[in-house]
Chain A
Amino acid sequence: MRIVRSSTLMCILFVLSAVVMSQISPKPVKQRNKLAASIERGKKVYADQCLTCHQADGLGVQNMNPPLVKTKWVLGDKKQLIEIVLKGKKDGVEIDGDSYSNVMASHADLTDLQIADVLTYVRNSFGNKAKAITEAEVKTVRAKLK
């Protein structure tokens, strides 16, 4: 009886652990890989499209190009951030009392995936930590702009 019980218990534990393994553990790994892949792709888009103005460290240029580090513009509303990339920005921004006046061109020529990747990279680099932006989210914002 004891043996049966313990084996039943073992069984339950095994099934439970299998359930746990399949339901919880593999998903974060998959998500993490997905996030890492998006950041990796986004880094290339950043180097190609953003680095000249916002600089390699994301800190921008005094009076001209705003920093991307720990600002609500980057870490806040995803829709607003996606819109800036799609439409560009011509009226400057003010961050912590400093104004940044340079014109940002529209980057609507990038694909939804490229925009999702570069924003995910920016939101998870230079000391930033924020949720990824998905291709679907970019697609939704782009559709509404048309």
Chain B
Amino acid sequence: MNLQLGRLLGCVLLLSSVSFYACAGDTTSVNKHNSADDVVLKLPEGFTAKVFAEGLGHTRHIAVNTNGDVYVKLSNLKDGKGIYRLRDTNGDGIADNITGFGNIKGTGIAIKNGYLYFSSDEEVFRYKLDGNNNIINPDKPEKIVTGLLSRHEHEAKAIALDNSGNLYVNIGAYSNACQVSDRQKGSPGMKPCPILDSAAGIWKFSADKLNQTYGDGVRYATGLRNVVGLNWNTATNSLFVMQHGRDQLHDLFPNLYDAKQSAELPAECMYELHQGSNCGWPYIYYDEFQHKKILAPEYGGDGKITAGEDAQDPVYAFPGHLAPNGLLFYTGNQFPQKYKNGAFIAFHGSWNRAPEPQKGYLVAFLPFKDGKPSGDWEIFADNFSGSPELTASGRAKHRPCGLAQGPDGSIYVTDDSKGTVWKISYIAK
């Protein structure tokens, strides 16, 4: 009897554990959960995510050195520090040596030719890394660019470097649509838009000259409302950017756009830039349903009139208001072949879709072939928000912001809500 009971119990236990594993394996890959946080990322089959570090505050962009050291830039100081170095000394995929330095807050960070570059909302700096990959003079960064406009809107200065000694800096428009009075119903668009002279574009500077200002740089591309995710694509040898499209079509023009149209329009666009590129802001926006550049209502548009013949078309159009904050072209060998040279985009998540449900809070993947998108975008990493309900309400627990690739081909994602950094790797062979 006792034996029978024991067998029965064993059977039940075995069955329940089998069903547990079946459930777990059923969705996508299950992540080894090493965090106090209850959020578990959803990833494609074969991928795993580890919480590399957490509780770091507003971690914006991220850079990884050739030795695997991870650097995150904070938009608010944490314990008086604006950059944290996260080092995994035992190789278990979790940072075990965390050091903060510098007292400058901001968004941009990048490593190039033995220097760690970073930005505040007005300036770009760099530190020299020594032979042991340590920062020389953590309290005295070199100032590379100074005096950039920052006027309470789109102030983050995201940066990227090419392989020819150039530094590219986003200077976002201090405006939604270049109205005489910003975001004011009934206020007309200014023509020409005076913001374009000193903002709403990408400026190019030398990566090696100190104390450059506007006069030392060139306006590389214009007509970009705001860019946070940008990166140099080594396969095409060109700069790619993700634009944050304009807001409030319904609030400002309720007779032309209903709340649903306003939630969907305009697209969040990816552009490939060259010297002199013009992407059309503020005069036009891109409508991904009509596949057209549409005259902005502040300039007489009605949602149908096309314009912007002098403005280039986007390389790809993503759904509206998802807020692309990180862009990474995958050059590693760890992930399956389809990811090679493709783009990962960290979508920070929407706010301007209200009263419609919010969307985003995910990392997307866009496949590339021969330097151009070769298929539709897909969700790569999801559930940063914690649940579909938290996504819809916009009260996401985590909001993806920065992306970087490690020397082993894993990728890192930052969250600027709670300061979690994930390391995502491919483990199935």
Chain B residue numbers with a CB within 8 Å of A57 are 393, 395
Q: Please, which residue of chain B has its CB at the minimum distance from the CB of A97?
A: B76
In the complex, are the beta carbons of B394 and A101 less than 8 A apart? no
Tell me the residues in window 6-62 of chain A with beta carbons closer than 8 Å to chain B beta carbons.
Answer: 47, 49, 51-53, 55-57, 59, 61-62
Kindly provide the distance from the CB of B94 to the nearest chain A CB, expressed in whole angstroms: 26
7 intermolecular pairs with C-beta atoms under 8 Å apart: A47-B355, A55-B394, A56-B393, A62-B416, A103-B152, A104-B183, A109-B186
Partner of B351, one of A64, A90, A103: A64
Number of interface residues of A (CB under 8 A): 28
The residues of B that contact A90 with a CB separation of less than 8 Å are 152, 182
Query: Is B212 in contact with chain A by the CB < 8 A criterion?
Result: no
**Also in contact, A105 and B185, with CB within 8 A (given A64-B351, A98-B76):** yes
Contact among B58, B152, B153, B248 for A52, CB-based, below 8 A: B248
Q: Min CB distance, B350 to chain A, in Å?
A: 9
| Residues of A that sit less than 8 Å from B by CB | 47, 49, 51-53, 55-57, 59, 61-65, 88, 90-92, 97-99, 101-106, 109
Which residue in B155, B176, B417 is a CB contact (below 8 Å) of A101? Answer: B155
Question: B181 at the A/B interface (Cβ < 8 Å)?
Answer: yes
The reply on B251 being an interface residue by CB < 8 A is: yes
Within 8 A of A (CB), among B68-93: 75-76
CA distance A4 to B400 in the complex (A): 83
Measured in the bound complex, the distance between the Cα atoms of B351 and A125 in whole Å is 20
Query: B354 an interface residue at 8 Å Cβ cutoff?
Result: yes
Which chain A residues lie closer than 8 Å to B185 at the CB level?
105, 109
The reply to whether B182 and A103 contact each other, CB–CB distance below 8 Å, is yes
A57-B393, A61-B394, A97-B76 are known contacts. Are A105 and B351 too (CB-CB below 8 A)? no
What is the predominant secondary structure among interface residues of chain A facing chain B? loop
Nearest CB in chain B to that of A60: its residue:
B351
Question: How many Å from the CB of A66 to the closest CB on chain B?
Answer: 12
A contact residues around B395 at 8 Å (CB): 57, 59
Cβ-defined partner of B152 (8 Å) among A55, A59, A61, A91: A91
Q: Is B29 an interface residue (CB 8 A)?
A: no
Query: Which residues of B are found within 8 Å of A98, using beta-carbon distances?
Result: 76
**Chain B: interface residue count, which band?**
20 to 34
CB neighbours (8 Å) of A65 from chain B are 351
Q: How far is the CA of A103 from the CA of B248 in the complex (A)?
A: 13
A62 touches B184 (CB 8 A): no
Return the chain A residue nearest B182 by Cβ.
Answer: A103
Say how far A117's CB is from chain B's closest CB, in angstroms.
18
Q: Shortest distance in angstroms between A126's beta carbon and chain B's nearest beta carbon?
A: 13
Q: Is the CB of A103 within 8 A of B153?
A: yes
By a CB distance below 8 angstroms, the chain B residues around A51 are: 354-355
Contact of B182 among A49, A61, A105 (CB under 8 A): A105
Q: Of residues 180 to 228 in B, which have CB atoms within 8 Å of A's CB atoms? A: 181-186
The 4 closest A-B pairs by CB, nearest first: A61-B351, A105-B184, A105-B183, A101-B152
B233 on interface, CB distance cutoff 8 Å? no
Cβ of B352 < 8 Å from any Cβ of A? yes
Task: Tell me whether B399 is interfacial, beta carbon within 8 Å.
Answer: yes
B353 — nearest CB in chain A belongs to which residue? A52
Closest to A88 in B: B184
Least CB distance from B252 to A in Å reads 9
